[in-house]
Structure 1
Amino acid sequence: MTKAPLPWQTPLWDGLISRFRAGSLPHALLFTGSVGYGKSVLAEALIHGLLCQSPTDDGVACGECQSCNLLMAGTHPDLMWLEPEEAGKAIPVDRIRAVGEFLALKGQYSDRQVVFINPAEAMNRHAANSLLKTLEEPSEDALLILISSQPSLLLPTIRSRCQQVVFPQPAAQVSEAWLQAQLKNAVEPATIKNLLALSNGAPLAAQALHETGGVAVRHDLASLWVGVAEGRADPLVCAKQWSELGLPQATRWLSSWVMDLIRLKSGVDPVAITNGDLRPQLQKLVGGLELKQLFAYLAQITETARWANGQLNAQLAMEDLMVSWSRQRTVAK
């Protein structure tokens, strides 16, 4: 299957291909932007296009040459793919050290060798320092592509040695049309809009939310969360179920709900909140909560989210968040 950019990525794609053809593509690219914007999709399309032996006029891989076949089989010798072995785990330092050895070799099917690291923030400090040595002395034919939804977690020296490519939020009309096509027109337009609203306008996140039954899971977890605040649910039991969602998604939902509580507490028109479908539950809570505590809780969620892709223990992190949330009920009473 040919790898190609997504519809909303055309400007980014055209810019990268133009720079490649002009010989001005940097040796290291850092793709940043929110989860669900398709950073890794564009990266894969770029890698396939650059390593393809007969790319199209638009720079897209042909999908038929020997290089493309190797890429699709995951066995291309000129590509090094680095990701955590498990979600939430770190990329081991020894794998990062191997990057230098890999780039010291000559390409077998291309005059370029590519290293893909996703997510870049999954590197611990030792791994990041090891990569820094490679970035400081890049080989002429090397291209490193780093993916990050939280670039602030990367060493400043790594960020400074990469050309950052920022992925903006796709236009609503483009996102809706794409999502409708992916779901085979089996979903009502109103549902499409709701999925995108719940995913902060990120099309791939909206698709995943629908296909994994995430909307129902979200409502179940919301009921548990409200129950903790009202003293009806055990925060530790709640934490166990929330941790199964994964810290990145869990902290995104929690922060969104708390921000809506802050909006409601501040007197914002309820229509303006992000999670309109949860308005009855949120409205029920808001009267007994204090802004100061809500802001403190939001700060705790934000700090947890910063390390969500690292080696943070999801169960313990969620227990801390749920116990803190349970203390809100002393006010709610």
Structure 2
Amino acid sequence: MPGVEHLPWHQPLWEALSGRAWQAHAYLLHGPAGSGKRELAERFAAWLLCSQPGPQDACGSCASCKLYRAASHPDLFILQPEEPGKAILIGHVRELVAAIQQTAQQGGRKVIILEPAEVMTIESANALLKSLEEPGAGTVFLLLSDQPSFLLPTIKSRCVLQACPLPPAGLAAQWLAGKLPELEAGQRDMLLQLAGGSPLRALEYAQDQLLQQRSEVVEGVKQLLKRQSSPGDLAARWAKLPPVLLLEWFAGWSQAVLRYQLTQDDADLGLADMQPVLKYISGFVQADALLQLHDWILERRVKLLRRAPLRQDLLLESLLGQWLALVQRT
């Protein structure tokens, strides 16, 4: 259907969903960030709401499809946090439940897209349970999650689970080249590596000028090691950078040093921009201390993903202080 992107790596998933003999009342589309869950959910929602769906797609011409394309379909409900990084509160769920109890205005299905499902509070998740157990006739929930392990087991048990994996590397590179022809192949490859193989996330990174931000962070780490910048200075300079992403980079660098200490293989040092730094510090950093810092980073990352109220400036200053202490020669 026009306006709904069909990602090439979704075709097997699409055939599995649209080819079902009967449609479940709730699906949990789960997979890595940037795997295209939202695009798949929107395509599926358009197909579910269409009055004359074909085997491969919504018809695109019925009244329901026209309303969907205009983003004004009265039987499509989107439940998201009010702001990125915030939780879905019980009040939001109660409003949704009240709305979907009404008769479908177009006489067909009612579809709810809930994203990201893992940011529901325990209270809001419990408020949703009854609707998942006993939805109205023709009501279909599409829950999307990057972190399904954070969901209550009672929520997952009431949904058909559909994994949404990342595409093969070759297909991801081909798709990204079509979206970013102005970039050099090396830049696109670096974006894909930083995005963990997700082409959608790589495209988002390109739009957010992440390569430039990465360069600034790498330069800051070098200045830290040379005592040209303090942890506090860098924490202030990085105030607008996503803290989860910074923790992922430092966790990756810690792992790279540990691997290199075991193998002495330059390929284990990761991306070329940090290889000289990591190779330098691997010669004297203590593995036990590095493992402790790595565990600390992962614990804070999980807290951020769970929306714990951590102050970013203090978090980064502590991280950089520990990194600096870690690499001091003994």
Q: Same fold (TM over 0.5)?
A: yes
Assess if the C-alpha contact under 8 Å between 2:48 and 2:111 holds in 1: no
* Candidates 169, 172, 179, aligned match of 1:172: 169
Q: In the aligned structure 2, how far is the partner of 1:97 from the partner of 1:157? A: 18
Counterpart in the other structure of 1:7: 8
**Letter matched to residue 332 of structure 1:** V
Structure 2 residue corresponding to 1:74, chosen from 68, 71, 76: 71
Q: Are 1:319 and 2:330 matched, yes or no?
A: no
Contact 2:290 2:326 in 1 (8 A): no
Q: Does the aligned pair in 2 maintain the 1:80–1:115 contact within 8 Å?
A: yes
Tell whether 2:265 aligns with 1:269. Answer: yes
How many angstroms apart in 2 are the aligned matches of 1:90 and 1:118?
Answer: 11
Following superposition, which runs of at least 4 residues in structure 1 exceed 6 angstroms of deviation?
none
What's the offset of the Cα at 1:186? Answer: 2.4
Q: 2: distance between equivalents of 1:107 and 1:34?
A: 33
Q: What is the alpha-carbon root mean square deviation over aligned residues? A: 2.2
Secondary structure at the counterpart of residue 29 of structure 1: strand
Q: 1:112 aligns with which of 101, 105, 109?
A: 109
Distance in 2 separating the partners of 1:331 and 1:195: 28
- Separation (CA, whole Å) in 1 of partners of 2:313 and 2:260: 25
Residue in structure 2 matched with residue 297 of structure 1 by the alignment: 293
TM-score, L = length of structure 2 = 0.90
Instruction: Give the length in aligned residue pairs.
Output: 327
Q: Encode CA deviations 1:73-92: one digit per residue, 9 max, x unaligned.
A: 33211111011121111112
State the AA in 1 paired with 2:32: S
Question: Does residue 188 of the first structure (1) align with residue 181 of the second (2)?
Answer: no
Residues 179 and 192 in structure 1, CA contact (< 8 A), matched pair in contact too: yes
Runs (5+) with no aligned partner, structure 1: none
Percent same amino acid at aligned positions? 32
Change (3 A) 1:62 1:280: farther
Aligned to 1:127: 124
Q: Deviations over 1:83-129 (max 9, x none)?
A: 11211111121111223222312211242111111111111111111
Task: After superposing the two structures, state which structure 1 stretch, 301-310 or 105-114, moved more.
Answer: 301-310
2:240 matched to 1:244? yes
Q: Per the alignment, do residues 38 and 2 of structure 1 end up closer, same or farther by CA in structure 2, a change over 3 Å counting? A: same
Cα distance, 1:16 vs structure 2: 0.3
Q: Distance in 1 between matches of 2:10 and 2:101?
A: 32
Q: Residue 29 of structure 1 aligns with which residue?
A: 27
Offset at 1:221?
1.5
Deviations 1:281-330 (A, max 9, x none): 2223323322222222222222222243443345x145224414413433
